[in-house]
Every structure is written in structure tokens, then in C-alpha cells.
Amino acid sequence: MASLLRRPFAITATLKHAAPKSSQSIAFRAFHSTPLKQQPHLWSPKAPSASASASQHVSKFRQTFRRSYQQAAFNPAAQGDLRQRLIYGAGIFGATLLGINFVFNRETREDGGMPPFERAYLNDTFMHTGLGVGMIGIAARALHMNGWSFRLMAANPWVVLGVGLVGSIGTMYGTMATSPSNYVQKYALWSAFNVTQALLLSPLFFMNPAILARAGLYTAGLMGSLAFVGATAKTDKYLYLGGPLLAGVAIVALSGFAPLVLPATAARTLMFTENIWLYGGLAVFGGFTLYDVQKVLHHARMAEQGLIAKDPVNEAISLELDFINIFIRMVQILGMSQNRRK
């Protein structure tokens, strides 16, 4: 149930507002070969070109994704050189790591460190998580370059939501239900799950590449810090978070549906629900990272005892969903802060 609710609904919600009212007629004309009637006037207005329509899609997507994501002009005096920015970023990351470790990890493991089997199982899970995230990014970029994002934005958002959920949930549960011994089917379904996520996330490449890169680095840093805390914390310390996090992610998921059902005139309600989706979701999925890392270690101990089969692919799916949801919110936060500087 938790994996079902950990879905990024922002892209689908954005498509409802980004898609123009005449998108149905545009899609109809694209597949209709009957010529249009001749206009009686000599100088008839020209139909919008494909490039103009594409630019309208891009501008509407950026405007409806909470804020515009255009990056400010480069200013060497304000930005500083590359070395200073790297040192500044490394300092922030180190301070964040120490702060999170001090607040959440005052009680460390009592067994003197992580056993070799748990360490190998956790490293295998992180490797599959990195491969999955990389597969999603490469596939989303390829789909965007081939025009998939424009076709997705012109489609009915409810159809995108329904088909996306069916495809994601079907491939996810198919992967989890497949035995690790069935190697080919397991990895085929896992690859299909990653491609399904790429199909839904490809419109993110309309955003500024610098913002996407920074969001990816910040997401990796945040998840890395939380994973370090979860791996070195006392055994099963954060497993109790499963129930509260499930309630929190249900609220976040419902707030993500608000733009699909509420009218645009309900500005205050939409702003409130979007703040819940953005900042509440960031806290919830940060907690899920702690929970999932400790769940991986718990499953490693069970697998070592022969109670369950060793299955790092299933463990990686949960961490992939955590990464996706945190990454989307990082993109939004960086875009908002960029606009406030203008």
C-alpha cells in the first residue's frame, strides 16, 4: 500500500492545466487527412506552426508547474568561481550530514558495526537503485528528444493518470511477485517499471538543465545522508515509522490530486494543498528513506537466516520511488527560489 501511494502525481496534475482547451481538436487534425475548407477571404489567417505550438506547450508547462523555471542570467560577481561554489556546496553537505547524524543517530548500533552480509545486501540494493534511477533518466531524456513530452501534454490528463497508474502499479507488483530465481522475468518487469516512470517524467526536461542537475545533486545528497543515518543507527530504530509515514503519504497523495478536481478560482485552497504536497511530501519521503534503509537491513537479517529470499530488486524499487518524489520537489523548490532572485 505504501508503494502504491508513493507516486509522483505532480506531472499529471500539471498536464491538466498545461494542456490547451483545443488540444482535442489538435489531436484530431493530426490524424485526419481531409483537407480544410477554403476560406472565402483572400487573406486568410495562417494556422499556427508546429514550432509555435511546441513553444506554447513549453511555456504553459513552466507556468503551471508552480512557478516559471527560467534561470537568471549568469553574473560572475554574484556567482563566484567554480572552486568557491564547490567548497560552499561541500560545506553545506558536510554540515547537513553531521546535523542529521547528531539529531537522528545519537544511539548507534550495539553490535560494533554492520555485519558483512548486511553490508553486502545494502550495497547490492544501492547498486540496483542507482541503475534504476539512471535507466529512468536516460529513457526520459530519449523520449523527450523524440517528441514524447509534447504528445503527453496534448493528451487527456485523466487518461494519462489512469494509464500511468495502471502501468506503474502493474509492473511494480509484477516485479515484486516474481521470484528472484526467475532472473529474466524479474529484470524484464523491473526494466518495464523504470520505463513507465520515464514515460511520465519526461516533461521535466522542459525545465532548465541547470536546475535539474542541482536538484539531482541535492536529492542524492539528502538521500545519502539519510541512508547513512539509517544504516548506522540502532537496529530497527526507525521501523516504527511505517504506520505514521503511510498516513502522511496518503495525505500527500490526496493533496496531489487537488489540481485535478478543484477549479482554478480556488486559489487559496490550491496553494494550501500544494504546500502540503511540496513540503509535507519532502518530509514524508525523507522519513521513508530512513524507514526503507532499515527495512533493507531487517530483510538482510531474515535472508541470512533463510526466512526469505535475497531480493535487492524489490528493495531498490522503494528507494527509487523515494528518489523520484524528493527529486520532483527539489526541482520545484529550486525553481521558486530562482524566481525570487529576479
pLDDT digits (tens, 9 = 90+) for 155-188: 887 788 888 889 999 999 999 999 999 989 999 9
Q: Are 301 and 178 in contact (CB under 8 A)?
A: no
Which pLDDT value is given to residue 161?
80
| Domain-embedded: residue 38 | no
Q: Dihedral of CA 315/316/317/318: which sign?
A: positive
3-state secondary structure 282-337: HHHHHHHHHHHHHHHHHHHHHHHCCCCCCCHHHHHHHHHHHHHHHHHHHHHHHHHH
Residue 193 falls inside a structural domain: yes
The reply to whether 70 falls in a domain is no
Q: Would you place residue 325 in the very low, low, confident or very high pLDDT band (cuts 50, 70, 90)?
A: very high
Residue 267 lies in a domain: yes
- Indicate the range of 10-19, 29-38, 183-192, 197-206 predicted with least confidence: 29-38
Q: What is the mean pLDDT of the chain?
A: 75
Q: Is residue 61 part of a domain?
A: no
Report yes or no on 172 lying in a domain.
yes
Q: What is the DSSP string of 187-225?
A: HHHHHHHHHHHHHHHGGGGGS-HHHHHHHHHHHHHHHHH
Instruction: Give residue 55's pLDDT.
Output: 61
Q: What is the domain count for the chain?
A: 1
The whole-angstrom separation of Cα 291 and Cα 289 is: 5
| Residue 77 is assigned to a structural domain of this protein | no
- pLDDT score at 328: 92
Q: Is 103 helix (H, G, I), strand (E, B) or coil?
A: helix
d(CA 76, CA 341): 15
CA nearest neighbour of 245 among 2, 83, 25: 2
- Residue 313: what pLDDT? 94
Say what the pLDDT of residue 122 is.
92
Q: What is the pLDDT of residue 342?
A: 57
pLDDT of residue 190: 96
Q: What residue type is assigned to position 270 of the chain?
A: L
Residue 45 φ/ψ region, left for φ over 0, alpha for ψ in the -120 to 50 degree band, beta for the rest:
beta
- Return the number of other C-beta atoms located less than 10 Å from residue 5's C-beta: 19
Helix axes 116-145, 312-340, angle to 10 degrees: 50
Q: Single out the residue of 191, 194, 195, 215 nearest to residue 204, CA to CA.
A: 215
Task: Return all residues near 174 (Cβ < 8 A) that are at least 6 apart.
Answer: 189, 192
Report phi then psi at 151, rounded to 5. -65, -35
Predicted confidence (pLDDT) at residue 59 exceeds the cutoff of 60: no
What would the mean pLDDT of 226-236 be, rounded to a whole number? Answer: 83
Q: Is residue 187 part of a domain?
A: yes
Residues 180 and 186 sit within 8 Å (Cβ to Cβ): yes
Q: At what angle do helices 157-177 and 312-340 cross, to 10 degrees?
A: 150
pLDDT score at 340: 64
- pTM for the model stands at 0.71
For Cα atoms 334, 335, 339, give the angle at the middle one, nearest 5 degrees. 115
Is the distance from CB of 241 to CB of 285 less than 8 angstroms? Answer: no
Q: Which domain holds residue 134?
A: 2-16+83-336
Contact between residue 300 and residue 124 where contact means Cβ atoms under 8 Å apart: no
Sequential DSSP letters for 72-89: PPP-HHHH--HHHHHHHH
Most confident of 50-54, 80-84, 104-108, 185-189: 185-189
